[in-house]
Amino acid sequence: MINTVKKNPAVRFLRYANKHGLRASLIKSLEKFGFLERDGRGERKPAGKPVGKPAGKEPHSKLGGLMRKLIRYDVISFDVFDTLIFRPFTNPADLFTLLSSELNYSNFKELRMKAEKEIRDIKLSKEGNREVTIIDIYEKLWETTGLDPARCAKFELETELRFCYANPYMKAAYDALIQEGKRVILVSNMYYPADMLTEILTSCGYVGHEKLFVSCDYGLNKYDGKLFQYINSTYFFGEDIEKSLKIIHIGDNKETDVAGSELAGWDNYYYRVCCRPITNFGEGGLVGSSWNAVVQNFLNNSYSCNEYPNRDTTMWKYGFKYGGFMVLGYVNYIYKYCIDQQVDKVLFLSRDGYFLKEIFEQLYSDIPADYVYWSRSAMLTNMPEHYLDECFNHYFLRRYYSSGKRVALDEALVWLSLESLSELWVATSDGEQLITDKNIQIFRQFFIDNRNTFFERCSKDDGILREYFLSIVSNSKHVAIVDIGWRGTGAISLRKLLKEVWGLDCRVSGILFGNVSGGKDFDAAIAYQGLLSSYAFSETTNKEHADYFRKNRSKMSAVAEIILAAAPVPSFRGFGDEKDGGYFYFSIPEIENYSKIRDIHRGENDFINEYIQRTKGDPALNKISSGDAFAMLKRLMNDKLLLKEIGSFVYPQFLEKEVSGTGKIEKLSDFCSLENHLDCKGA
Amino acid sequence: MKILYYGVTAYHFLCFVLHKHFYRQNDKAVLLIPERINESRSFQKYFSDAGVFEQVFLYDEPSVSKDKSLKENLSHIKEFYDNDLPIEIGFFDEIYVAVDHYAFGAYLVINSLKYNYFEDASGRLSRHKELAKDVCYVNPARGAIAEALGLYGNSLLVDNRYGDLALQDSDYLNQKDIHFSVTELLSQLNRTEIRKLANLFLFRHEDSGFESFEVKNSTILLTQHYINLNMMRYEEQKLMYQLLVDYFAGEKKLFIKPHPSDIHGLYANWFPGATMLPRLLPSEFLPFILEEINTVLVASSTSTLALEKNVKNSIRIGCGIEKNYSMIHKYYVVVSYLLSIKNDLRYVFIGDASQGLMKELIKTFPPLSYQEEITGKSELTATIIGKITEDNRNDIVSQFLSSSQDSFFIFLNYDNGCSFFEHSMKGYLVPIQITLSHQEGIFNKKKSEYIYLLSKNSLLREVAMKMKDKIELTYSGITVEINQEDKSAIGALEGINAAIERRLLEVQGQYDELYSKHRNRD
């Protein structure tokens, strides 16, 4: 995405204009001459271009187009690897890394690749071609390692069999052609002889083809057309002339498949390789390689997205490409923590845990999980006496800062539900009608002194609260509370409630995606005491990530919260009193965001499903390190298209100003200015 | 006499072969086929070898582009055919054209050449508006040309129109029409002649052997090429047909006859154990090569019309099923409800609710019966509502409020947004939760959908509140479950919640509009 943006001439021109102070006048000119127009929200967009998906026809079926082309041929030839068959590795040699532990060589990949190169060079000098079999390669490797060639070859083949999977696009075309009675042949440059390659093909469902030609069986390669010419002169001998045989070859390599088949007089169809390399991902290594391969093979194969509905929205793609990876890493971390710490119940806090719980339950049904209603707002509503400072900060201070540190007295008192004390304040403060930096400390003390008035707005009895939580955590010996972050207030406050206020005899710990809270000492203490455990970063684990997060908090937290922790439900505000009917209070639903959030979740769900299937749940490929997860978050933070999409999110209704689409993301907590007055009753 | 035939599908060629055989046996005939159609070379070879036509020509057909104007496209067509047509049109005494909306038909009209028209498919003479809609969808440029020139057999240059008049719409009449029934003509041939003809369409030597199929107590699914027409994606077509077979074929043995142009469907994979019938064979042959067809199932094609006399049961859902197939579970739940109450009902369909689907499902579940009118003293009405819009909402509400005690409304909630909820009807409303689950990869996916019963009759509401049913669909792998006892309260609240969301979204939309007008004024 970033490379595309950089190369886009329009973008480069705009950057030039911006740099030289021409942007504003340029944009005005474009608007004047009708090249730009404003949409319903006043945002500029190219004139005439519809917002979102254009109405009308659904996307054309690429597979349909391919079939209409292929059906006219008498013989259809397919390349094998990266055409019919995918592997979940960006580089095929990454497979060798998985053989390392079995064969007890940490540098097995390098040894294996070196042996292959050497034997190919020897073959070229002796016989004039570089075609070798897998046994040849391992016999060469045996010279320096003593590894039994037959055993190694068998082991490598078994690993291929385990991980190779069919390209759904080509599989559908292949099956349709076989069903139509068409002649199908396979032509591959490979070191597996035909019998071994057939085993791999069969395991991927490719049966019924007429013949498989492998370069190592004939000592001929596709590159110079010789293998194709050999097929013409021997296999199709006579047929070409008598039947005007029309043959087409499909492959992903321009030199071997396209140019090579052309030399033999065949038609060809270039199928662009799906898995394109990436650079500089995370900690590098196998997981990054697998992630890239699985994502790209899925997105680019022309079937998995094209032939399914609802897999073409931007937010689905972000969920699939990025979010699912982080969610999977975090969920795996949660499970490992639960096993190591003998957790017998996991509580996913609203709303952050909404989607995490869904995935956790699908993957790890052996540990009971619940979605529980609790939030910072609920904490302040139901436990104000324990968090008075927090109440002041939440209901007054952040709005005070947003208002430029000048707030009218009446408004300030309303925010804190102290309207009835207006005269008392006037008497106390010499009639001050404005709260500014000059008197804010006095105002704060006034609030503290009159806290009982404030408490009247909060919930008075904890009957509903107690009943609710006891029904969830009773009989549990160790409960883990899952949240995204960043201070862990949700987990800590709930722990306080359960253990301190109600005296439950139950171990309560918290798990966060990331933790940047009250300071190094506090974090060290809670980490060592096992109260909070953080996946991606904290003050004591991956501190450089925590420092980076702190520096870029406004953008990073917004991205993380939307991709990982958003939910298509309103925010939970607190528990009502029993005399009021015991309602659960919710804030206004930000329904404008819901369809995008659902798209993100669907994308993440699809990724996790696909990734686990393709990597076979192999531990080496599924242990997503905190470094890789954080690297993914960093990637997202610099993705301008995503930032623009997120810029249209609203938090919550009745914002004084919308988040702009200029790339500056404002913190979620900077909104909710009318929250006090907008309670919505639900149950 | 020298005759020219032009067509693009196997059905067209069958019409031409029969027409030649029965009406122009001693005349010389030439067949013109666009090369780009599937199997064009095979048709050319086998028809030529069999001597059915004196010559069979393939040629490149000019394409039309939506980026060009009508005038430019017509000029291109004229120029192309003037230069590149492999035949001399003036040489022919009669021209027969199926699909005059292709470039060749346009060329004839541009040059004021008279021709005879064969219907595009069985029963399509009276349904040319459906054809026009399909053409405009698939190729808007071609649709524009057809409309401008008045094609689809309606041009003044058409002498005669051939089609099966028994299969047209009941109120249809056109003076130029001549009855031409493929089925009737085939029945006049003996078995050997039919077999030889069928082998031609299978690109086999006419004396080749022919398989026999045991089709007693079976269902034959006739497919359509939605993927080819860009109307559906693969997975959508797959799911649609799997659901149709699951609901309508029951336990019967399944045969599948793909549409001749449906080269994309992987029916053998989608329906393991089903027997595939030859794709290229026009379905009109089926009664002559299969005995005792029990049930024929089709989504929306007219191809069953020709077979209806020869089958015990014909199921044709109707247009729009390709968009609304995922609603079939909801219709099933309605039928499940109807099984619990009396079935002397008149049905009314509002808001895109599918009469065809409802009717066919009811037929699948005896003792239910579908009646257009009911006899008897009371008029009990079941109003089935697909979508609620701002246009029909008020009407529906007032209809309900004025309805009789025993009538009921079922809102199918097509957009799953529960936009129907009206506070005044709260007491009459019973949400029915449908849980759909299926295995997708490693995940067992569950989804809840809702339909709503509205009735002033508490007994009818009670029946809905106690509904319990579960079916496991074989081919689609979906389990459909209704269990009102556990979930009605939660379902209602979720539905109410969704309704509130929907209303808020509408309000937000109005606010945006006002805001935009205000800004533009500034």
Q: Are A281 and A292 in contact (CB under 8 A)?
A: yes
Distance CA A261, CA B367 (A): 64
Nearest-CA distance from B500 to chain A in Å? 9
- Cβ <8 Å between B263 and A613: no
Please check the confidence at residue A215 and state whether its pLDDT lies above 50: yes
What pLDDT is attached to residue A674? Answer: 25
In which region does residue A429 sit, left (phi positive, over 0), alpha (psi from -120 to 50) or beta (all else)?
A: alpha
> Distance between CA A155 and CA A150 in Å, rounded?
8
* Best of B227, B264, B507 to mutate (most A CBs within 10 Å, chain A): B264
Nearest to A609 among B137, B443, B516 (CB): B443
For residue A228, the model assigns a pLDDT of 96
- Tell me if A480 is assigned to some domain: no
Hey, are the CB atoms on A68 and B263 less than 8 Å from each other? Answer: yes
Residues A15 and A77 in one domain: no
pLDDT in tens, A237-291: 877 655 678 899 999 999 999 999 999 999 999 999 999 887 656 656 889 999 9
Tell me which of A242-246, B356-360, B411-415 is least confident. Answer: A242-246
N-to-C CA span, chain A: 43
Q: Within the 293-312 window of chain A, which residues sit less than 8 Å (CB to CB) from chain B?
A: 303, 306-309
For residues A616 and A524, the model is more confident at A616
Residue found under tokens 């662009």: A272
Quote the minimal CA–CA distance from B229 to chain A in Å.
9
Band of pLDDT at residue A339, cut at 50, 70 and 90: very high
pLDDT at B294: 81
CA distances from B22 to A643, B17, B160, B306 (A): 71, 9, 17, 19
3-class secondary-structure state, position A575: strand
pLDDT of the residue at A153: 95
Identify the weakest region by mean pLDDT among A586-595, A620-629, B55-64: A586-595
- Residues A105 and A40 grouped into a single domain: no
Per-residue confidence (pLDDT) for residue A88, from 0 to 100: 96
- Of the candidate ranges A328-332, A594-598, B268-272, B411-415, the one whose mean pLDDT is the lowest: B411-415
**Is A16 among the domain residues?**
yes
Whether B506 has its CB under 8 Å from any CB of chain A: the answer is no
Closest listed residue to residue A162, CA positions, set A102, A104, A114: A102
Domain final residue pick, A455, A473, A506: A455
Tell me whether residue A244 is in a domain.
Answer: yes
Structural tokens at position A590? 């930000």
Cα–Cα distance measured from residue B297 to residue B243, given in angstroms and rounded to the nearest whole number = 12
% of chain A exceeding 70 in pLDDT: 82
Considering the domain architecture, whether residues A37 and A166 belong to the same structural domain is answered as no
**Interchain contact B519–A (C-beta under 8 A):** yes
* Residue A379 falls in which region: left (phi positive, over 0), alpha (psi -120 to 50) or beta: alpha
Q: Tell me whether residue A660 is in a domain.
A: no
> pLDDT tens across A460-506, in order?
666 778 888 888 898 899 999 999 988 888 898 999 999 888 888 89
A128 and A86 both lie in a single domain: yes
- A115: domain CATH number is 3.40.50.1000
**Co-location of A72 and A14 in the same domain:** no
Confidence of residue A337 (pLDDT cuts 50, 70, 90): very high
**Phi and psi, residue A679, nearest 5°:** -65, 140
> What is the tens place of the pLDDT at every residue in B415-433?
776 555 666 777 888 888 8
Across the interface, whether the CB atoms of A591 and B520 are under 8 A apart is answered: no
Query: Which positions 399-438 of B are in contact with A (Cβ < 8 Å)?
Result: none
Q: Strand B381-385 and strand B346-350: pairing? A: parallel
Q: How many other CB atoms are there within 10 angstroms of residue A354's CB atom?
A: 18
**Residue that is last in its domain, among A455, A483, A504:** A455
Structure tokens belonging to residue B151: 């094609």
Same domain, A400 and A447: yes
Which residues of chain B have a CB within 8 Å of the CB of A73? none
B407 vs A15, which has greater pLDDT?
A: B407
Chain B residues with beta carbon closer than 8 angstroms to that of A68? 38, 228, 263
On the question of pLDDT at B61 being above 90, the answer is no
A41/B516 Cβ within 8 A: yes
Residue A31's pLDDT is what? 64
Q: Which two tokens stand for residue B168?
A: 């047209």
Question: What are B146's two structure tokens?
Answer: 């057809």
User: Over the range B137-159, which residues count as b (16 or more CB within 10 Å of their CB) and which as e?
Assistant: eebebbbbbbeebebbbbbebbe
Helix H or strand E segment including B383: strand B381-385
| Cβ density class A6-36: b for 16+ within 10 Å, e for less | eeeeeeeeeeeeeeeeeeeebbeeeeeeeeb
CB-based contact B370:B358 (threshold 8 Å): yes
DSSP single-letter state for residue A38: E
The contacts of residue B177 (CB under 8 Å, 6+ apart) are: B125, B160, B161, B162, B163, B165
Q: How sure is the predictor about A423, in pLDDT bands with cuts at 50, 70 and 90?
A: confident
Three-state DSSP state, A441: helix
What pLDDT shows up at residue B331?
Answer: 93
More confident residue, B243 or B503: B243
Show the CA angle centred on residue B371, arms to residues B369 and B374, nearest 5°.
Answer: 115
**Confidence at residue B413, expressed as pLDDT on a 0 to 100 scale:** 86
CB pairs under 8 A between A and B: 98
Residue pair B235/B314 in contact (Cβ under 8 Å)? The answer is no
What's the pTM? 0.84
Query: What's the confidence (pLDDT) of residue B326?
Result: 92
Do A38 and A79 belong to one domain? no
**A661 pLDDT band (50/70/90 cuts)?**
very low
Give residue A114's pLDDT.
96
Q: What ipTM is given for this predicted complex?
A: 0.85
Whether A374 maps to a domain, the answer reads no
Write down the H helix ranges in B365-440.
393-401
Residue B263 is nearest to which of A58, A67, A613, comparing CB atoms?
Answer: A67
* A308–B233 C-beta distance less than 8 A: yes
Distance of CA A581 to the CA centre of its chain: 41
Q: How far is A67 from chain B (nearest CA, A)?
A: 7
Residues A156 and A234 in one domain: yes
Question: Is A60 touching B (CB cutoff 8 A)?
Answer: yes
Q: Does B511 touch chain A (CB under 8 A)?
A: no
pLDDT band at A126 (very low <50, low <70, confident <90, very high): very high
Stretch B241-259: mean pLDDT, rounded? Answer: 90
Task: List alpha helices for B208-341, DSSP H.
Answer: 234-248, 267-270, 286-289, 321-324, 328-338
Average pLDDT over residues B461-485: 90
Report d(CA A215, CA B85) in Å as an integer. Answer: 46
Omega before residue A486 within 30° of 0, cis: yes
- Whether residues A15 and A79 share a domain: the answer is no
Cβ density class B179-202: b for 16+ within 10 Å, e for less: ebbbbebbeebeeeebbbbbbbbb
Among the candidates A204, A236, A270, a domain finishes at A270
- In this structure, the answer to whether residues A257 and A134 fall within a common structural domain is yes
pLDDT digit string (tens) for A79-89? 999 999 999 99
User: What's the average model confidence in pLDDT over B350-356?
Assistant: 84
A543 min Cα distance to partner chain B (Å): 35
B218-222 and B253-257 strand pairing: parallel
Q: Report the largest interatomic distance among the alpha carbons of chain B, rounded to a whole angstrom.
A: 82
Q: What is the dihedral of CA B487, B493, B494, B500, to 10 degrees?
A: 160
Name B413's Cβ contacts closer than 8 Å, sequence gap at least 6. B330, B420, B449, B450, B451, B452
Chain B residues whose beta carbon lies within 8 Å of the beta carbon of residue A175: 266, 268-269
Q: Does residue A224 form part of some domain?
A: yes
Give yes or no for residue A200 having a pLDDT over 50.
Answer: yes
Mean pLDDT of B145-167: 91
To probe the interface with B, which of A43, A45, A58, A61 has the most B CB atoms within 10 Å?
A: A61
Closest to B466 in 3D by CA, of B288, B283, B341: B341
- The Cα diameter of chain A in Å comes to 110
- Kindly determine whether residue B266 and residue A179, on different chains, have CB atoms separated by under 8 Å: yes
Q: B512 and chain A: CB distance < 8 Å anywhere? A: yes
Whether A247 and A170 map to the same domain: the answer is yes
Q: What is the mean pLDDT of residues A370-399?
A: 86
Confidence of residue A554 (pLDDT cuts 50, 70, 90): confident
> Do both A29 and A103 map to the same domain?
no
- Residue A354's alpha-carbon distances to A483, A561, B67, B101, B377, in angstroms, are 10, 12, 48, 54, 55
Per-residue pLDDT band for B302 (boundaries 50, 70, 90) equals low
Q: Is A251 among the domain residues?
A: yes
Q: How far is A144 from chain B (nearest CA, A)?
A: 43
Is the pLDDT at A51 greater than 50? The verdict is no
Q: What is the reported pLDDT for A36?
A: 62
Which residues between 95 and 154 in chain B have a beta carbon less than 8 angstroms from any beta carbon of chain A?
A: 137
The pLDDT score that the predictor gives to residue A45 is: 56
B146 vs A427, residue with greater confidence: B146
Q: For residue A186, give its domain range.
A: 63-270
Query: In chain B, which residues have their Cβ closer than 8 Å to the Cβ of A605?
Result: 443
pLDDT at residue B347 is higher than 50: yes
Partner-chain contact A64 B227, CB within 8 Å: yes
Residue B42 makes CB contacts below 8 A (sequence gap 6+) with: B203
Q: Tell me how close the Cα of B417 comes to any Cα of chain A, in angstroms.
A: 12
- Which of A560-564, A667-671, B91-95 has the weakest average pLDDT? A667-671
* Residue percentage of chain B with pLDDT more than 70: 89
CA A616 to chain centre: 19
Residue A140 has pLDDT above 80, yes or no: yes
- CA-CA distance, A166 to A510, in Å (whole number)? 42
In chain B, what residues touch A308 (CB-CB under 8 Å)? 233, 235
Q: Average pLDDT, stretch B214-233?
A: 85
Tell me whether residues B264 and A57 touch, CB distance under 8 A.
no
Number of domains in chain A: 3
Residues B164-202 pLDDT 10s: 988 888 778 788 899 999 989 999 998 888 888 888 888
Average pLDDT, chain B: 84
Tens of pLDDT, residues A229-238: 999 999 988 7
Interface test with B, best of A307, A602, A649 (most B CBs within 10 A): A307
Let me know if residue A226 belongs to a domain: yes
Report the chain A residue with the minimal C-alpha distance to residue B140.
A57
Measured CA to CA, the distance from residue A180 to residue B267 in angstroms comes to 11
> Pairing relation of β-strands A584-586 and B2-6?
unpaired
For the cut 70, the answer to whether the pLDDT of residue B36 exceeds it is yes
